[in-house]
Amino acid sequence: MAARHRHIKTGLAVLMLAILPAGAPAQTDAMPNRVRTEYGDPANPAHQQIYDNLKQQRVLERLGEFLSPFRFPRDLLLKVEGCNGKVNAYYEDAVVRVCYEYLAFIYDNLPRGATPGGLAPEDAALGPTFDVFLHETGHAVFDMLRIPLVGREEDAADLFSAYILLQLSKEETRTLMRGIAHLARKEATAAMAETLQLKDYAGVHSHAGQRYFNLICMAYGRDPELFANAVSIGQLPAERAAGCATEYAQFEYAFQTLILPHVDYELFRTVRARQWLRPQPPE
């Protein structure tokens, strides 16, 4: 069973951080609209349909516009590409790469009918697709904007993605979160079915079950009315649910303190007011 996206972190970025003096002046050429996109040719013919769908729906272009408010010191490239069978996604050196294999994994795990939470199958791929790009973009933001982290980077990247998606309209947020939760729950169930050794807990990612509950806790913490079924259908235990508003607020405080200063606020307001899930004709 393939795991939820992992990433590799560039050793160079870590080295650069080590040799730069503390308090180095901020990059002066940071500006919004620095996200570029690229559709790599699918090496595997089985991925041609995914390539065609992504291009037809302008998925990367929309993600690039969605992320345009971030003032990056250099261009960030979002790319889809074939990964020789690996179901994965990566961030390294200002490039986010999502494998066609990972997108195929999303499609292979779509619900066959409406879920108990009311998610239509045709909408179920949207959330995980946004989520994988935003998780990797989280790594890009931490690296390119030199955001200090107190805690594990993989958890922070998960929360970054959830937090961004929870800023959209209630309708879009609900659709996205239900899609992500559906896949995360399937992965958690599969992970629970395996007999785990101690070393299985040594990874940089939290266990799939923890990632699932971290996600729905963020959603419930953001809007307990909209995500009221997180407790009933999502099986979020009441003792965890009670603290989710505080957990959400804790991440929001970090985001507003550390990341928001790198966001073009006017552009952010424009982005936030738009609808993102339905394909729109080029402007």
Beta strands in 29-176 (DSSP E): 35-39, 76-81, 89-92, 95-99
SS3 86: coil
Q: Which is closer to Zn ion, CB of 98 or CB of 241? A: 98
Binding segment for Zn ion (CB under 5 A), chosen from 64-72, 110-118, 155-163, 245-253, is 155-163
Q: Which is closer to Zn ion, CB of 209 or CB of 224? A: 209
Decide: is 47 part of the binding site for Zn ion (CB under 5 A).
no
Given a contact cutoff of 8 angstroms between Cβ atoms, the answer to whether 161 and 183 are in contact is no
Binding segment for Zn ion (CB under 5 A), chosen from 7-15, 31-39, 64-72, 228-236, is 7-15
The Cα 212–Cα 275 span in angstroms is: 26
Say how many Å lie between the first and final Cα of the chain, rounded.
41
Among 216, 217, 211, 209, residue whose Cα is nearest residue 188 = 209
Shortest distance (Å) from residue 278 CB to Zn ion: 28
SS3 96: strand
Shortest distance (Å) from residue 135 CB to Zn ion: 6
Q: Which is closer to Zn ion, CB of 143 or CB of 154? A: 154
Given a contact cutoff of 8 angstroms between Cβ atoms, the answer to whether 207 and 158 are in contact is no
Binding segment for Zn ion (CB under 5 A), chosen from 1-9, 24-32, 97-105, 248-256, is 1-9
Shortest distance (Å) from residue 97 CB to Zn ion: 12
Binding segment for Zn ion (CB under 5 A), chosen from 6-14, 143-151, 231-239, 247-255, is 6-14
Q: What H or E segment, with its residue span, contains residue 275? A: none
Return the residue of 63, 76, 132, 157 that touches Zn ion, per CB under 5 A: 157
Q: Which is closer to Zn ion, CB of 3 or CB of 110? A: 3
Q: Which residue is nearest to Zn ion (CB)?
A: 7
Decide: is 99 part of the binding site for Zn ion (CB under 5 A).
no
Number of residues that bind Zn ion (CB under 5 A): 3
Decide: is 156 part of the binding site for Zn ion (CB under 5 A).
no
The Cα 129–Cα 59 span in angstroms is: 9
Among 255, 60, 219, residue whose Cα is nearest residue 141 = 255
Q: Which residues bind Zn ion (CB under 5 A)?
A: 7, 154, 157
